[in-house]
Amino acid sequence: MLPVKSIQRIAIVAGEASGDILGAGLISELKKKYPDAVFEGIAGPLMKKEGCASLYPMESLSVMGLLPILKKLPELLKLRANLARYWVDTKPDLFIGIDAPEFNIGLEQKLKSHGIKTVHYVSPSVWAWRPKRIHKIKKSVDLMLCLFPFEQQIYQRHAIDNFCVGHPLADEIPINTDKQKARDELDLDKDAQLICIMPGSRGSELKLLGPDFIEMAVLLKKFYPEVTFIAPMANEKRRFQFQEQLAKASEKYPDLPNIRLIDGQSRTAMTAADYIVMASGTATLEAMLIKRPTVVAYKVGDVSYRVFKQLLTIDRFSIPNLLSKKELLPELIQDECTADNLFAEVRAWIGDHDNNNGQRWKETEAEFTKWHEVLKKNANVYAADSIEHWWSENGIRQTKALENE
């Protein structure tokens, strides 16, 4: 029997910072298994550091919301067509699409139709909205790497090879986090009642959520004079944008509380906090792993929301609630996401601590700990091992088929 061909050239596309983190960890482990392999595609700074050549800037794919996507659609389609043409001509051994399903699944379909093996890392949310996408995924993806156990069921039903590799964040974040150490790092009062405000890392998120979060802080400060606020900013653009919102709010609210802005360090800020109020996204998983009482907010443009609402098949959206199939964390969606409602949900967490001996939080924390242990799988290694195992098995089947011709 002929030996299975080794992987020599890997095409890979990541669409945003979270994908860059996953991609860098995966490339690092794949290089140990395939030391002669070269990587090229669309990469962020972490993937580049691991030796991936980036053919286009990762920012080309960073877009959220229906209208922004529509505005950028011609550019995205041209970019995808260029990549497909290039890789169909040059035939890499393997393509890995990391998240960014609207971009990557179509690219994977084109490449797979030309005999290039495809892996998709991070399951699209077919279990949440547009479930019929599974049929296109089956035509496009040879192997799906899922982050969460509940995602595997749909791929198993449709006979798509898959592994659940866990989540790198569960490996990075300790089961028990040190609040006082985090406060020391940020030079924060060790006895303060601290609320971490995280209104989003994208401009569109901050535009819609920032004013409500600021007004919530005003209400909380009136009700709890001792409370303090910290807000980690994803980058300079978001910091400037939030500062503008604070300046505008100060005209309306003379008693606007001080909200300390810090650059980056979101995980340290969450660890230092007693309570967190955040935009929905991967950060809700971090809040779960750090184990802090959290309120989750989600708001997009009215047109986008009307479209998405018609396509949704779930009634909860934050990762902790999806994992547990319970509303462990309060979720405020679109019209429900108001300063008054945010204030009420934070008050409910504080009231649980003050009046109920934290019983609600104790139950929630126990559930969070359980899921932390489930997701702690050494994901980077597991993902690389899964690709190696699948490639070996698939290669053997291909070799047998060739020998039987």
Question: pLDDT per residue over 283-341, tens digit each?
Answer: 899 999 999 999 999 887 666 656 566 555 556 678 899 888 888 999 998 889 999 99
Q: Where are the domains of the chain?
A: 9-166+378-404, 172-375
255 vs 306, which has greater pLDDT? 255
Do 137 and 144 form a contact (C-beta atoms < 8 A)? yes
pLDDT digits (tens, 9 = 90+) for 212-247: 999 999 999 999 999 999 999 988 999 999 999 999
Backbone torsions φ then ψ of 11, nearest 5 degrees: -90, 140
Average pLDDT, rounded, for the chain? 89
pLDDT in tens, 6-22: 899 999 999 888 899 99
Q: What pLDDT is recorded for position 11?
A: 98
Q: What are the tens digits of pLDDT across the range 11-54?
A: 999 988 889 999 999 999 999 999 999 999 999 999 999 999 99
Please report which confidence band the pLDDT of residue 3 belongs to, taking 50, 70 and 90 as the band edges: low
By the 8 A CB rule, do 210 and 241 touch? Answer: yes
- How high is the pLDDT of residue 120? 98
Render pLDDT for 132-180 as a digit per residue (tens, 0 to 9): 889 999 999 999 999 999 899 999 999 999 999 999 999 999 999 999 9
- The region that residue 276 occupies, defined by phi over 0 for left and psi between -120 and 50 for alpha, beta otherwise, is beta
Q: Do domains 9-166+378-404 and 172-375 have the same CATH topology?
A: yes
- Residues 6 or more apart from 194 whose CB is under 8 A from it? 183, 188, 227, 228, 229, 230, 272, 273, 274, 275
Using an 8 Å Cβ cutoff, are 175 and 373 in contact?
yes
Architecture of domain 9-166+378-404: 3-Layer(aba) Sandwich (3.40)
**For 328, which DSSP code?**
-
Q: Is the pLDDT of residue 400 over 80?
A: no
Task: For the domain made up of 172-375, give the CATH fold.
Answer: Rossmann fold (3.40.50)
CB within 8 A of 155, min separation 6: which ones? Answer: 123, 134, 144, 146, 161, 162
Taking residues 181-188, what's their average pLDDT?
96
